[in-house]
Structures are given as structure tokens and as C-alpha cells.
């Protein structure tokens, strides 16, 4: 299916990259209609970026700046693709029974409608630096000292934390979007705020789906921890040469800087990874800088 790459941004925050591997194409699943619409929208946006029409260039330039403000957590979660055939066990039963109920009842031999029909045959590698610092040290004790299992548990906890956040933001964008309808009545001018809000509604929905997918992968043990020595070496080199590391009032410290992005793209052979990592680094530094500024202002008031 996909391999999940865990990149620590700070001692408490992680960037999750999902990278499709050969197994994803060996076990394909027909794309859903929303995935096909997303592909068409991406193609149209790419064509607009290359267009010589002035207003298309203006729209894409404005859009690029706005999209850079979208939280990296949302980008990470919505990038989780639809699971290929073989990742999860196939269960019989009526389609309206929630997955959580099926998962809880699958061992109940009395409920024949929920028995496992086909076991999962595909697992998802979780790649992380060999010298990773687990965000929640208590999770290491919870899983008996296994760092790989602790990384997976951190991933699940992060997905659980993000699920209600994505739903709340989805509802807010959906509630505000009708307020932009008067703009659609204006001649010539497109309703860009309305389009943006609808995009965010869809984006939050996909992020919520991605969070649920990650949670299920960990819950059903459909993953294989893979400590990466080359990735660990990048972090070790970064730590020795980091000049402007930020430390928040709570002790959170930045671990990754933009200088390492090129090495990461070469390591994972993914040029498109560059923008996502740079965006996450910039947003993380901005958040910590604000925390430092707020703490400084409070000290002066006291």
C-alpha cells in the first residue's frame, strides 16, 4: 500500500509522510469518485499554473500563498490513500454495521455474520529514525520498551487527537460557506472565498478519513516498524550543526531545519516531499516563536 514515514519536527511534534510503494499498485482498488474528482482538480490547477492567462496566474499565485497556511497536520492526514486490497481482513455482514462494532465483535463465535472471511495479507511499513525521540516517553513503558511499537502508538494517539479537530473545522467551514453566496452574484468576479471554504470542507473530511485509517492500521496491527539508520544519521548531523534551534517555554525543541530537506528527498527518492517538509518546518517554527513571544509578554506584565 503505502509506507508511513515519521519525521520528528520537534521533541513533541511529528510530520507524517505517506509514500506509495510498489505494493500499492500490486493490490489496487478502484478509486472512489471523490479521489477521481481530486485528480481532475489537481490536473486543472496544474494547467492553470502553466497558463499565460493573467487571471489564472493571479488565482494560482494567491492560492499557493493561502494553501501554505493550511496546517501541515491536515496535509499529512488527507494524503493517506485508500487502502489497497489485502490490507485489512474482509468481514461478512451487513454494510450498515459500523467498523468499530465489527472489530469488537469479530471474535464472538456466536455472531456468524461478523466472522473474518479473508485475512489481511498486506502490512504498512512505519519508517522512523533509528535514534527517534518518542513524543510521549510513557508510551515506551506501555508497550514494554519496544521503540517501534511506541512510535506506532504515538501515531495512533496523534490520529485520535486530530479526528475531532478535523470534524470541528469541517463544520465551521460548512457553516460559513453560504455567507459567500452574494459574491457569486457579482459579474465577472469568481466566488473565490466560497470555493476555498468548500475546498477546506472536503480537505477536512479527507483528513478525518486519513486519521481513521491510521488508527485502524495500528489497532489491527497492520504495520511493521522499520528503524532507518540513514534517516537517523541525518538527524544526528542536523543536531550537531543546528545553529538557531528554538526552545518553547515548555521545553519543546526543534529538531529539523530546512537545510536537511534536500537530503530527505534524496533518501526517499521523492522530490515532491520537499514542499511538504518545508511547510511543516516553517509552521512549527512560527508556532513555537509565538509561544516564546507570549511567554515573554506575560513575564513583563508580572
pLDDT band at 281 (very low <50, low <70, confident <90, very high): very high
Q: Are strands 124-129 and 2-8 parallel, antiparallel or unpaired?
A: parallel
Which is more confidently placed, 278 or 242?
Answer: 278
As a whole number, mean pLDDT of residues 200-208 equals 94
Candidate from 30-34, 151-155, 223-227 with smallest mean pLDDT: 30-34
pLDDT at position 144, please?
A: 63
Q: pLDDT > 70: what percent of the chain?
A: 77
Cα dihedral sign for 180, 184, 189, 192? positive
| 74 has pLDDT over 60 | yes
> What's the pTM?
0.80
Q: pLDDT > 90: what percent of the chain?
A: 43
Give strand ranges (E) for 119-228. 124-129, 223-228
| 297 has pLDDT over 70 | yes
Work out the end-to-end distance of the chain between its first and last CA atoms, rounded to an integer number of angstroms: 54
| 302 has pLDDT over 80 | no
| 77 has pLDDT over 60 | yes
Residue 158: name the closest of 223, 210, 236 by CA.
210
| 282 has pLDDT over 70 | yes
pLDDT at position 73, please?
A: 95
pLDDT band at 104 (very low <50, low <70, confident <90, very high): very low
Which is more confidently placed, 251 or 27?
Answer: 251
| 29-33, 77-81, 182-186, 287-291: range with highest mean pLDDT | 287-291
Candidate from 65-74, 95-104, 145-154 with smallest mean pLDDT: 95-104
Give the chain's mean pLDDT.
Answer: 80
| 213 has pLDDT over 60 | yes
So where are the chain's domains? Answer: 2-87+122-239
pLDDT at position 31, please?
A: 67
- According to DSSP, the residues that pair with 15 across neighbouring strands are 7
Q: How far apart are CA 204 and CA 75, in angstroms?
A: 9
Amino acid at each position: 500500500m503505502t509506507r508511513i514515514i515519521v519525521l520528528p519536527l520537534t521533541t513533541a511534534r511529528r510530520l507524517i509522510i505517506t509514500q506509495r510503494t510498489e505494493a500499492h499498485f500490486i493490490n489496487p482498488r478502484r478509486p472512489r469518485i471523490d479521489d477521481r474528482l481530486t485528480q481532475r482538480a489537481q490536473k486543472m490547477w496544474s494547467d492553470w499554473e502553466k497558463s499565460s492567462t493573467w487571471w489564472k496566474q493571479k488565482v494560482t499565485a494567491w492560492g499557493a500563498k493561502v494553501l501554505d497556511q493550511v496546517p501541515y497536520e491536515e496535509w499529512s492526514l488527507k494524503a493517506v490513500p485508500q487502502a489497497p486490497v489485502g490490507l485489512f481482513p474482509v468481514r461478512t455482514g451487513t454494510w450498515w454495521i459500523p467498523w468499530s462494532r465489527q472489530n469488537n465483535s469479530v471474535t464472538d463465535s456466536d455472531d456468524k455474520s461478523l466472522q473474518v472471511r479473508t485475512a489481511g495479507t498486506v502490512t504498512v511499513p512505519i519508517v522512523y529514525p533509528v535514534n527517534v525521540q518518542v513524543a510521549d516517553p510513557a508510551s515506551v513503558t506501555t508497550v514494554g520498551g519496544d521503540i517501534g511499537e511506541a512510535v506506532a502508538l504515538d501515531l495512533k494517539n496523534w490520529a485520535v487527537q486530530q479526528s475531532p479537530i478535523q470534524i470541528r473545522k469541517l463544520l465551521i467551514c460548512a457553516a460559513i460557506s453560504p455567507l459567500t453566496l452574494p459574491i457569486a452574484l457579482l459579474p465577472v468576479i469568481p466566488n473565490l472565498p466560497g470555493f476555498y471554504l468548500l475546498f477546506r470542507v472536503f480537505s477536512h473530511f479527507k483528513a478525518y478519513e486519513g486519521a481513521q485509517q491510521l488508527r485502524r492500521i495500528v489497532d489491527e496491527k497492520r504495520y511493521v516498524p522499520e528503524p532507518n539508520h540513514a534517516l537517523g544519521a541525518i538527524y544526528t548531523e542536523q543536531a550537531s550543526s543546528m545553529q538557531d534551534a528554538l526552545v518553547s517555554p515548555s521545553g519543546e525543541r526543534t529538531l529539523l531545519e530546512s537545510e536537511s530537506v534536500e537530503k530527505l528527498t534524496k533518501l526517499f527518492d521523492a522530490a515532491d516531499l520537499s514542499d511538504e517538509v518545508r511547510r511543516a518546518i516553517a509552521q512549527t517554527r512560527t508556532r513555537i516563536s509565538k509561544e516564546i513571544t507570549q511567554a515573554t509578554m506575560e513575564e513583563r506584565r508580572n
